[in-house]
Structure 1
Amino acid sequence: MSDVRQQFERAAVFGASGGIGRALVEALADAGIGKIYAGSRSGLTHEGDNVHPFRFDYDEPATLADAAEAMADEPPQLVIVATGVLTLGNGSGPERSFKQIESEAMERVLRINTIGPALVAKFVLPLFPRDRRAVFAALSARVGSIGDNGIGGWHSYRASKAALNMLVRNFAIELRRTHKQAVAVSLHPGTVDTALSQPFQSNLPEGQLTNPAESARNLLRVIEGLSPEDSGHQFDWKGERVPD
């Protein structure tokens, strides 16, 4: 991960208590990033001289503004949004038919998967330097690809990730006007052994499930290789572009 250290002095991970988010913080620390902001709803994640926990809550947008203000003097050049939900806390899973769509469940999925990351961007993108490389990466999913959708279903989750991908494209266009070296992308981490995917792991082909540490290394490797020309697109964990 030496390239990550060479590219970024400071990084921020929103969703640092989740499986992939925690692994990303640990991988960034192992890579020698000088300062890592690790955000979670509790604000109590990780320990280490270069890891600085902070609290945020998508239901309290002011906490995102506060987090950005606290980072302003030493802003991150790499921001990763590693939050997301597939099955809600009440057990509501992804809809297999449009007959199962419920407004409250859909609103909640959109709040976590789409609106929350958009608010992160609202507050942290203004911190990016204009004269050097900076990357905003939001974890998305291949099922959010409209062009790659051949089976349907999972309506709220698909819609929330497709909307997130569109927002990232918008952010990339806007950044291009003022931050020539900045990159905004969405990333598909693959199927990772976390609480999010756990209910859907039983029928996976052999070798398709990735552990969080390996996933984090894969994602950072993709980030290392991104250029401004890649901004606005979605890439999978192998670095291949996902259809829009």
Structure 2
Amino acid sequence: MKRALVIGASGGIGSALAAALQGQGWQVTGLSRSKDGLDITREPSVAEHIGALTGVFQRIVIATGALEIDGHRPEKALKQIDPAAMAAQFALNAIGPALVLKHAARLLARDEPAVLAALSARVGSIGDNRAGGWHSYRAAKAALNQIIRCAAIELARTHGQAACVALHPGTVATPFTAKYLDRHPTVAPDMAAQRLLAVMDGLTPADTGQFFDYARKPVPW
């Protein structure tokens, strides 16, 4: 039976991904802060929880992140930048996934097709940025994209059949996005999960190190 590891499995998208994978016959291991005490911003917590896992996984999905942390909303102007709020964004949206990669890479299957995917965001694209604002969140997601790119290059040396990618899930109707939907079309978490899994199912080693949206269209860095 194929095995999948979902980090952030109690969140809106993470829980939907875990359920969808189980529905496809995968053996799913889910870890989250609310249910398991995994705090990806603290390396001892990451080392403890991921270090306790054994065996290999054909799919590892990092579905963590937050747009608003401790009441700090995305900035609309440079004058609203707060150093502590920006540091919190980097801790959760960039450093946290990097720590997961550091400790979970050993679990990724080496001698068979495998996927390691992290949920990013289109607003983290530098090339696609036409609106500005949201400085801390954008910068943290851009950092995550670079981390994924670097990880893909390194993993390609040891995991020749793996694809390591960043994925944009679209605008998903979860508590994460509730305050910021405006007129943006949204999809339910289960639909988002199905679309993301369809993208992952179609990935090959030639796709490693890239950034795709939910329709498998490349997103500019």
TM-score range, shorter chain: over 0.9
How has the CA–CA distance of structure 1 residues 202 and 149 changed in structure 2, closer, same or farther, with 3 Å as cutoff? closer
Report percent identity of matched pairs: 48
TM-score, normalised to structure 2's length? Answer: 0.96
Match of 2:112 among 103, 121, 132: 132
Distance between the aligned counterparts of 2:191 and 2:109, measured in 1? 30
TM-score, normalised to structure 1's length? Answer: 0.87
Moved >6 Å (runs of 4+): none
Match of 2:13 among 7, 14, 20: 20
Matched, 1:238 2:218: no
Query: What's the CA shift string for 1:187-234, capped at 9, x where partnerless?
Result: 000000011110012332xxx210000000000000000111111111
The 5-angstrom pairing of residues 63-142 of structure 1 reads 63-72=45-54, 74-89=55-70, 91-142=71-122
Distance between the aligned counterparts of 1:36 and 1:164, measured in 2? 24
The aligned residue for residue 46 of structure 1 is none
- Uncovered stretches (5+) of structure 2, i.e. residues with no partner: none
- Uncovered stretches (5+) of structure 1, i.e. residues with no partner: 1-7, 44-53
Contact residue 60 and residue 108 of structure 2 kept, 8 A: no
Match of 1:211 among 188, 191, 205: 188
Contact residue 57 and residue 109 of structure 2 kept, 8 A: no
Query: What's the CA shift string for 1:14-45, capped at 9, x where partnerless?
Result: 11111000101110111111x211111133xx
AA matched with 2:12: G
AA matched with 2:157: R
AA matched with 1:20: I
Matched, 1:37 2:29: yes
